[in-house]
Chain A
Amino acid sequence: MICSKKGLNKFHCNSFSQGEITTGNAGFSALGRDFAGSEQPAKKPPRMAAVPAGTREFRRDWRKFTVSFLLMACLFAVGYNIWRLFDGVNTNFADGFCNRLQGRFFTAGEGFSYQLIRLAKDKIPKGSRCCYWTIPSLQKEISTECRVLELNYYLYPITVYYLDDSEILLSDHLICDIALLSHLKRRLLELELITGVAQDFTICGQNEHTVVLKREE
């Protein structure tokens, strides 16, 4: 009936008929004259009426569900990180109590680095010319660089060099990874043969990770 009215295009017709069927209010207000019997002119139905019943609510609910799901997932990640943090603190305290039992300073959390530093600190006197020596392929390794930087930090003003061969002749102490010791000893021997300088580096301290070599005078 309404579709056949002049001036209402197909879109209006569709939206109106859908509104009439699905949303009671839109239909009622639009057909106010027919059903309610009032003198109000029929208003143009709002475009939102084109959405089937429940779609808007469904979309809103779906968005709410997605947002809630994402936030819950993020909260779970935060909880997981807090657990990791707690685990780290717990490990540090366990290490700390172990250290204290062995008569060392409580805060010695990071075993590897601390062992390196402690060994170097014990064995290398201040003002020494010290060289951190490693094989060339490891020069750009971040772990090696970290260790060198850390040594420099704790042993300041001891100068720590990279593996530049010529500097080895000037150094009175060498620090290297124990895994590379045999390799580096060969390198040292080669260097000795090349330069003809009688160098005799002997091990003055070692642990399971690191070795400190001292040049015999």
Chain B
Amino acid sequence: MNMFLQFLGILIALIIPTLNGFLILNFFKLPGLSQRLKWLIAFLLGHTVFSLSLFIFAVWGFPLNIKSGLLIPVLIFPVLLLIRRLSSWRGVPVSQSDINSGGIHNRFDKLTIKEKLNLTSILLMICAGVLFGLIFTLALSQAASASPGQAVWGCKAMVIYKEAGIPVSLFTDITEPYTQQSYPLGYPLLLAWCHMCMGEFNDHLIKLVPALISVLVFLTLYSIFANESLSRTKSLLLSLLFSGNYIFIACSTTLYADNLLLLYTIQGFYLIYVYLKNRRNADCLYLGLFLLAGGAWIKNEGLLYFLLAVLCILILDFGKPRRREILRTYIPAIFISTAVCILPWLMFRYYLEIALYDFAFSMGLQLSTAEIFGILKQSALRALSNMFVRVGDNCGVWYALIFVLAFYGKKIAQNKALLFPLMITFSAILFFILIFVFSTRPPDWHLRSIQRIFLIPTALAWMSVGFAMKLSESCSHK
């Protein structure tokens, strides 16, 4: 019974930030998105604001407990009302076509349950049910697995929970191996908040959090494909194919933060994609960049994806005649996202002089050309083998992507929205190959976790394949 109550505690811990996020989301006009996707975005938005508020509370010396957590929605509500009053200038005109372009959720709402489901989709749903059932069972049936996740993230969460705050020793005391001290605190704060809602420290049940996040990833991918008017069967199939990725399963059953970062990035990139597709609703751009910046509050890797997104949208729109207008939209979006999600943590790190644990630019400068080429060659070979050889990590998606590029490359090149996820995918892979040059450790050390590095590019590749499927459907209709 106690275990059940603690499970309810975890659910409440996730629902409170979601409600908080939904409150904030109501200030944005997102007519092209389904209600399901809005709730999923609300979770991340709420979690970002919630964990940042907890961080600011801790920096100001307030104790972190369930009371301070519940205080956040109470404090945020008047602030939101004030913003609402002040921000009437930012009303974005929304056309009727935007309201109608809600993807299949509009079309499907009119159908009966019998019409909605066919045998294939029922089978796929059963497969997904089995997959996630096994993920939950595996997460709960093992005591300690993948100790880096447990130790890096779980340990920080435990210290935050037990100390009811963020002790400076968490970052400065080098004898305590809370390694990766430079890692942001978004995820440990979520875990600590779950412990607070459970009422006690439970390192066993806490592993349900990444499992629940993996379900949210599945639902997000499904909602994205459904929102792009792909059929239910295709949406389910593509979401299942990604969720069957072994490294995704591994991250779902341990305390790794990769699944949460994945959720941030796919939602952020999709919102930017929606903006690039219709160019009417700047709210999607604001939210997308905010979520990507929120990813930087989860892992340092998130900062890379945020920077890549900014770079790619600037490159895509560089030659536009209405450049000034675009810059007027982009610069505030980038500025707000950076100021809210990235700067507090960077300033904190600067204040405590916390350097990056594994990387230093001086390392790359010390290497000879032959050494640099050696590292690049090794990294590229491992990346390629991971992409095209490992069956368990769903290498099929990369072959599918080659197929898509071969047959629809010209059409994709003409469409900036479709080009965007592809640009991010390949630039991220390229960047990960290059960054090992600046590592303080031998590249082999990083390359052991290359599968985890490829989790987000793989998800983006699946998204690109899904969008291309829609493109092929529209081509065949013509």
Contact = CB atoms under 8 A, between A and B. Distances in A.
Are A and B physically bound partners? yes
A21 interface: no
Given A63-B407, A92-B138, A140-B441, A75 B241 contact: yes
Interface string B312-323: 000000000000
Contact of B141 (A89, A153, A154, A161): A89
B177 interface: yes
Contacts of B147: 113, 146-147, 149-150, 153
Interface stretch (B15-23, B110-118, B393-401): B393-401
A89 B391 contact: no
B150 interface: yes
Interface stretch (A11-19, A45-53, A102-110): A102-110
Contact of B127 (A73, A77, A78, A84): A78
Interface size class on chain B is: 35 or more
Interface in B334-392: 391-392
B310 interface: no
A93 to B, nearest CB: 6
B9 interface: no
B131 interface: yes
B392 A84 contact: yes
A74 B396 contact: yes
A195 interface: no
Contacts of A85: 131, 134-135, 138, 249
A142 interface: yes
Contacts of A82: 127, 130-131, 134, 244
B241 A160 contact: no
Interface stretch (A64-72, A186-194, A199-207, A209-217): A64-72
A92 B143 CA distance: 9
Nearest to B148: A146
B241 A74 contact: yes
A148 B177 contact: yes
Interface residues of A, number: 47
A117 to B, nearest CB: 7
Contact of A71 (B177, B237, B476): B237
A145 B179 contact: yes
A105 B204 CA distance: 12
Contacts of B243: 78
Nearest to A107: B143
Interface stretch (B88-96, B151-159, B260-268): B151-159
Nearest to B152: A149
Nearest to A143: B147
Contacts of A107: 140-143, 204
B474 interface: no
A29 interface: no
Interface in A84-135: 84-86, 88-89, 92-93, 96, 105, 107-110, 113-114, 117
B312 to A, nearest CB: 27
A87 B409 CA distance: 41
A81 B144 contact: no
A80 B148 contact: no
A162 B407 CA distance: 55
B409 to A, nearest CB: 14
A159 B246 contact: no
Q: Max chain B CB contacts within 10 Å: which of A66, A108, A153, A154?
A: A153
A74 B137 contact: no
Interface string A18-58: 00000000000000000000000000000000000000000
A85 B130 CA distance: 10
Given A78-B244, A107-B141, A156 B155 contact: yes
Given A77-B396, A81-B249, A160-B177, A96 B244 contact: no
Contacts of A96: 141
B394 to A, nearest CB: 5
A88 B254 CA distance: 13
A214 to B, nearest CB: 21
Interface in B71-122: none
B325 interface: no
Contact of A70 (B127, B152, B155, B403): B403
B324 interface: no
Contacts of B203: 153
Contacts of A140: 441-442, 445
A104 B204 CA distance: 15
B26 interface: no
A109 B127 CA distance: 25
B145 interface: yes
Contacts of B249: 81, 85
A71 B241 contact: yes
Contacts of B134: 82, 85-86, 89
A83 B448 CA distance: 23
Given A78-B131, A109-B142, A146-B151, 12 more contacts: A63-B407, A70-B396, A71-B400, A78-B244, A79-B244, A81-B245, A84-B246, A86-B134, A110-B144, A149-B152, A152-B151, A153-B158
Interface of A: 60, 63, 66-67, 70-71, 73-75, 77-82, 84-86, 88-89, 92-93, 96, 105, 107-110, 113-114, 117, 140, 142, 145-150, 152-154, 156, 159-162
7 contacts: A73-B396, A77-B396, A78-B241, A82-B131, A117-B144, A149-B177, A156-B155
Closest 5 CB pairs of A and B: A78-B244, A149-B151, A109-B142, A150-B147, A74-B396
